[in-house]
C-alpha cells in the first residue's frame, strides 16, 4: 500500500500548522501585553525552515531517482526483454543524508522584535498591527487545515473503495 498518511504534503502542512499556532500564541501574548511597560513584542519565524525542509526533500528525491534502476527500452520489440541499467554507487554523505529525518529538527523560532520603535512606556506593541497579523495567521491556518482535510478525505475515499 502506498504510504499516504506520512506523505510529504501532510508533513509540511502539519509543520506549517504548528508554526502558525506558535505565531498565533505570540500575537495573543503581544495583544495581552499591549499596555505592559517595557514589553517587547514577540515574533515567530518558521517559513525559511519549511522552505529548507522542502528543498532538502527535493534533493533526497533527486538522489533516490539518480540511484534507481531505470528501464530504457529502445524499441517496442525490446520492451519485453528490457535490462535494467546499473545505478551509481552512493557516497557515504549521500547515504547519511538519505537517512536523516528532515522534519525532526523543525523548531519555530520565537524572538523579540527589536526593530520596532517603542512608545512612551517602552512597549513596542501596536494593537492594529497585531490584529492584522492575527487575521493573516488565522487565514493561513484555515487554508492549511483545509488542505489537510482534503488529503484525509482522499485517503478516506481510497479506504472506502477497498
Unique residue bearing C-alpha cell 549521500: 94
Given this model, what pLDDT does residue 86 score? Answer: 58
Pairing assessment for the beta strands 42-45 and 109-112 based on DSSP bridges: antiparallel
- CA 32 to chain centroid, in Å, comes to 29
Q: Is there a domain that residue 2 lies in?
A: no
Q: Is there a domain that residue 43 lies in?
A: yes
d(CA 37, CA 58): 47
pTM of the predicted structure, to 2 decimals: 0.76
Mean pLDDT of 11-16: 92
Residue 62's domain spans which residues? 8-160
Mean pLDDT of 61-75: 70
Q: Is there a domain that residue 1 lies in?
A: no
Q: Is there a domain that residue 108 lies in?
A: yes
Do residues 15 and 103 touch, judged by C-beta distance below 8 A? Answer: yes
Number of domains in the chain: 1
Amino acid at each position: 500500500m502506498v504510504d499516504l498518511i506520512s506523505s510529504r504534503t501532510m508533513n509540511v502542512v502539519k509543520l506549517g500548522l504548528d508554526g502558525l499556532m506558535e505565531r498565533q500564541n505570540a500575537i495573543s501574548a503581544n495583544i495581552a501585553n499591549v499596555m505592559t511597560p517595557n514589553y517587547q513584542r514577540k515574533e515567530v519565524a518558521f517559513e525559511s525552515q519549511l522552505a529548507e525542509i522542502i528543498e532538502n526533500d527535493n534533493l533526497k528525491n533527486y538522489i533516490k531517482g539518480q540511484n534507481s534502476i531505470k528501464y530504457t527500452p529502445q524499441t517496442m520489440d525490446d520492451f519485453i526483454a528490457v535490462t535494467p541499467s546499473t545505478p551509481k554507487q552512493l557516497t557515504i554523505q549521500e547515504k547519511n543524508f538519505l537517512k536523516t529525518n528532515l522534519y525532526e529538527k523543525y523548531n519555530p523560532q520565537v524572538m523579540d522584535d527589536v526593530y520596532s520603535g517603542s512608545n512612551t512606556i517602552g512597549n513596542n506593541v501596536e494593537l492594529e498591527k497585531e490584529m492584522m497579523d492575527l487575521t493573516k495567521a488565522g487565514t493561513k491556518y484555515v487554508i492549511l487545515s483545509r488542505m489537510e482535510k482534503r488529503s484525509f478525505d482522499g485517503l478516506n475515499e481510497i479506504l472506502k473503495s477497498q
